[in-house]
């Protein structure tokens, strides 16, 4: 057994100075530290001044795009995607995807993400990299049929899912239609039927640009949410991403469906100068999760940064300060992501998966330590993360990725070769 010592910050409560006992991949107990002797603990981490958080969940990302960091800055979404990203992506080889997925995931892990929900090409390579590092990963092979893109052939998406379904406790395949304007209604229906048979998640970009909305309207006379409903995929297994152009009717429809909306505020603010109506969605009961949409355009695989931006941008966007509290945003980044993905995680409670983050808060920016939610969202940085546990295993510890036996420094050096 292992134990983490510190103050638990869970989206629904704080427990000061406790020991979290971990056994066989799950949280077994949470007890005062003086009861530690009752358990057969062979490793302890943390102590006074540490914070224990549920692992952060990056519910939408493309980890291998770490390779494109800094490319195509300051272009709007359509031009960024079609003029810069797609041509660069045509150069991918499986080997390069594996290399950059490893770099992107290592960055995510070191900054406190225990789970990623990835949507990309050569998905087998991404799955392989996540097993090597020990990060929990939901992975979908991106498919499109309205755009002729050799890396996104529809058949590959179904085949990838079948290859990985039930194969690993860490890697779960998803279905990943690219977006409502790049996938035909027929293909989306087919994906929906397949997903229902296999109880699969559908992870899709939704209402991400004006052009997407216009294209779907011209093609089918529908809004993007109307299109998803027509295709029969608008339900609790849908993980829709972005939604920045959703209209009032779509917000209502989406909220009633049980689907999750993944909010990538930093990415969308940078690419489109706007963010999704997540406050309206959340007020109507939509499950909200957070994602970073990859290191391009976000710049970082750091969900602390993502929480902070989400809180602040929602206030600017709504011109209100009574929305997106630190506690709510923290819930989106943890429990909201877990709910989207059907994971028994996102909470620090006995019986939950031991996907945990130990934050070293023995630093000036955490003084005087009076509000753990505020400190987690507004004061913490990914670099404060000391230990990341996935499935009860410390897969990252003080700069070392324990499963591959490489430090951050060594990984940086090897990426230059
Ligand atoms: Zn994306």
> Which sequence spans correspond to the domains of the chain?
2-54+346-405, 56-341
User: What residue ranges of the chain have pLDDT lower than 70?
Assistant: none
Q: What is the pLDDT of residue 307?
A: 98
Rounded to the nearest angstrom, the distance between the alpha carbon of 208 and the centre of ligand 1 is: 9
Q: What is the pLDDT of residue 177?
A: 98
**Model-wide pTM > 0.95:** yes
Q: What is the pLDDT of residue 76?
A: 84
Q: What is the pLDDT of residue 414?
A: 84
Q: What is the pLDDT of residue 64?
A: 97
Q: What is the pLDDT of residue 279?
A: 97
Rounded to the nearest angstrom, the distance between the alpha carbon of 113 and the centre of ligand 1 is: 17
Q: What is the pLDDT of residue 75?
A: 87
Rounded to the nearest angstrom, the distance between the alpha carbon of 61 and the centre of ligand 1 is: 6
* CATH number belonging to domain 56-341: 3.20.20.140
The CATH topology of domain 2-54+346-405 is Urease, subunit C; domain 1 (2.30.40)
Rounded to the nearest angstrom, the distance between the alpha carbon of 21 and the centre of ligand 1 is: 36
Query: Which segments of 181-283 are extended strands (E)?
Result: 202-206, 238-242, 260-263
Q: Are 295 and 70 in contact (CB under 8 A)?
A: no
Q: What is the pLDDT of residue 168?
A: 97
First to last CA, the chain: 39
Chain segment 118-143, per-residue pLDDT in tens: 999 999 999 999 999 999 999 999 99
Q: Are 415 and 107 in contact (CB under 8 A)?
A: no
Rounded Cα distance, 205 and 264, in Å? 11
Rounded to the nearest angstrom, the distance between the alpha carbon of 51 and the centre of ligand 1 is: 31
Phi-psi domain of 46 (left: phi exceeds 0; alpha: psi -120 through 50; beta: other): left
Rounded to the nearest angstrom, the distance between the alpha carbon of 405 and the centre of ligand 1 is: 30
Rounded to the nearest angstrom, the distance between the alpha carbon of 365 and the centre of ligand 1 is: 32
Rounded to the nearest angstrom, the distance between the alpha carbon of 30 and the centre of ligand 1 is: 37
Q: Are 379 and 307 in contact (CB under 8 A)?
A: no
Q: What is the pLDDT of residue 343?
A: 98
Q: What is the pLDDT of residue 226?
A: 98
Rounded to the nearest angstrom, the distance between the alpha carbon of 264 and the centre of ligand 1 is: 9
Rounded Cα distance, 171 and 291, in Å? 18
- The contacts of residue 312 (CB under 8 Å, 6+ apart) are none
Rounded to the nearest angstrom, the distance between the alpha carbon of 410 and the centre of ligand 1 is: 29
Rounded to the nearest angstrom, the distance between the alpha carbon of 253 and the centre of ligand 1 is: 22
Q: What is the pLDDT of residue 74?
A: 86
Q: What is the pLDDT of residue 85?
A: 92
Rounded to the nearest angstrom, the distance between the alpha carbon of 138 and the centre of ligand 1 is: 14
Q: What is the pLDDT of residue 347?
A: 98
């Amino acid at each position: 057994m292992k134990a983490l010592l510190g103050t638990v910050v869970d989206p629904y409560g704080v427990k000061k100075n406790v020991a979290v006992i971990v056994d066989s991949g799950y949280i077994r107990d949470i007890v005062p530290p003086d009861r530690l002797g009752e358990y057969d603990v062979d490793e302890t981490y943390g102590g006074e001044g540490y914070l224990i958080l549920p692992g952060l969940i990056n519910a939408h990302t493309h980890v291998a795009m770490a390779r494109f960091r800094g490319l195509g800055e300051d272009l709007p979404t359509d031009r960024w995607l079609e003029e810069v990203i797609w041509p660069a992506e045509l150069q991918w080889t499986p080997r390069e995807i594996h290399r950059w997925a490893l770099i992107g995931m290592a960055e995510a892990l070191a900054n406190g993400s225990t789970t990623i929900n990835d949507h990309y090409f050569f998905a087998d390579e991404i799955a392989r990299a996540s097993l090597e590092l020990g990060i929990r990963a939901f992975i979908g092979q991106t498919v499109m049929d309205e755009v002729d893109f050799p890396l996104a052939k529809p058949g590959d998406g179904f085949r990838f899912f079948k290859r990985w379904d039930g194969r690993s406790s860490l890697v779960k395949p998803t279905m990943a239609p690219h977006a409502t304007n790049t996938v035909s209604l027929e293909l989306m229906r087919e994906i929906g039927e397949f997903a229902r048979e296999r109880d699969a998640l559908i992870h899709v970009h939704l209402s991400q640009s004006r052009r997407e909305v216009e294209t779907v309207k011209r093609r089918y006379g529908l809004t993007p949410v109307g299109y998803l409903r027509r295709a029969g995929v608008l339900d609790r297994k849908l993980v829709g991403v972005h939604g920045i152009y959703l209209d009032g009717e779509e917000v209502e429809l989406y909220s009633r469906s049980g689907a999750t909306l993944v909010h990538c505020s930093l990415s969308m603010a940078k690419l489109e100068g706007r963010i999704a109506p997540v406050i309206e969605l959340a007020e109507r009961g939509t499950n909200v999760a957070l994602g970073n949409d990859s290191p391009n355009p976000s710049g970082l695989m750091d969900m602390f940064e993502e929480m902070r931006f989400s809180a602040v941008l929602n206030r600017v966007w709504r011109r209100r300060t009574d929305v997106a509290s630190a506690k709510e945003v923290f819930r989106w980044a943890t429990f909201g992501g877990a709910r989207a993905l059907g994971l028994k995680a996102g909470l620090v409670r006995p019986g939950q998966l031991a996907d945990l983050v130990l934050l070293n808060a023995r630093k000036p920016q955490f003084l005087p330590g009076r509000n753990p939610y505020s400190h987690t969202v507004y004061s913490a940085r990914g670099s404060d993360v000391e230990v990341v546990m996935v499935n009860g295993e410390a897969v990252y510890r003080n700069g070392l990725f324990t499963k591959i036996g490489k430090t951050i420094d060594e990984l940086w050096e090897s990426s230059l070769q």
